Amino acid sequence: MEWLEQSVPVFMLIFCRITSFFVVAPIYSSRGVPSSFKIGISFMVSVLVFLTFWLQPTGSAGISYVMLIVQEVLVGLLLGFTAFLMMAVVQTAGALIDIQIGFSMANVIDPFTGVSTPLIGNFKYMLALLVFLSMNGHHYLLDAIMYSYEWMPVTGNVFAKIGDGSVTDFLVTTFAYSFVLALQMSAPLVASLFLTDVGLGFLARTAPQFNVFVIGIILKMLVGLILLLLLMPGLVALFDHLFDKMFTALQELLGVIGRRPA
């Protein structure tokens, strides 16, 4: 009974971090995954972490334990949000492309997130998920949350890192870098469609009898879809690079809030 009284508080702290991670992590947080599955996998991973790392018992009463719960929830949310931020790059790139093609007026409901997303962004996001699952990216996410206890134990102090601005600097830098990646991913199509607009502008000046507004809509759709078809083989390499940056960002976050294991 004494061992049980010491182990249950530690297990609950582990369960809080892992559950909060699955709430926002890509794939696991989608609406298509049942809540019972999320709770079940959180419980099983928590048991594996508890049996693998055998963390030291901690106090189970007082304000200090409440602060540890808040800290573990923050760590899980930070890890999951960092991974989700990199996956959102694909939808952002698709939204930028849709604005140029003209598909931004026909958004659809994404069944994974439950929000309105652009057509090309949703299409690319589905492809990214398939590539992510084919390379066992969901297993790497499980590795990240499991081995986060080597970097950041339950007795760590995340609030000190938040207070000195380290976590804020990391989040701002990661958000800016993710937006740059979205611009780079959409740059070929956006630049081509911009040149199409320039060509239509010259056509409107040299041949005013043409209805440029009607021709432009059809022409931009054709150019955008043809270029997207031509660039499809290179999307896998782009997604591989994106996922590599995702895992690098997770490692950098663990280095910010914790300490590299010896």
pLDDT at 104: 65
Rounded distance, CA 32 to CA 110, Å? 11
| Closest alpha carbon to 27 in 94, 80, 90 | 80
Tens of pLDDT along 230-239?
888 888 888 8
Distance CA 151, CA 255 (A): 7
pTM of the predicted model as reported, rounded to 2 decimal places: 0.81
**CA separation for the pair 77, 71 (Å, rounded):** 10
Distances from the Cα of 129 to the Cαs of 30, 84, 118, 260, in angstroms? Answer: 11, 12, 16, 30
Instruction: For residue 174, give the amino acid letter.
Output: T
The larger pLDDT score, comparing residue 27 to residue 105, is at: 27
Q: What is the 3-state secondary structure (H, E, C) of the chain?
A: CHHHHHHHHHHHHHHHHHHHHHHHCCCCCCCCCCHHHHHHHHHHHHHHHHHHHCCCCCCCCCHHHHHHHHHHHHHHHHHHHHHHHHHHHHHHHHHHHHHHHCHHHCCEECCCCCCEECHHHHHHHHHHHHHHHHCCHHHHHHHHHHCHHHHCCCCCCHHHHHHCCHHHHHHHHHHHHHHHHHHHHHHHHHHHHHHHHHHHHHHHHHCCCCCHHHHHHHHHHHHHHHHHHHHHHHHHHHHHHHHHHHHHHHHHHHHHHCCCCC
- pLDDT exceeds 60 at position 58: no
pLDDT of residue 142: 85
Of 10-19, 48-57, 102-111, 211-220, least confident by mean pLDDT is: 102-111
CB 118 within 8 A of CB 94: yes
Mean pLDDT of 87-110: 76
Report the alpha-carbon distance of residue 90 to residue 86 in Å, rounded: 8
pLDDT band at 13 (very low <50, low <70, confident <90, very high): confident
Residue 189 has pLDDT above 60, yes or no: yes
Band (pLDDT 50/70/90 cuts) for residue 117 is low
Could you tell me if 138 and 27 are in contact, meaning their C-beta atoms sit under 8 angstroms apart? Answer: yes
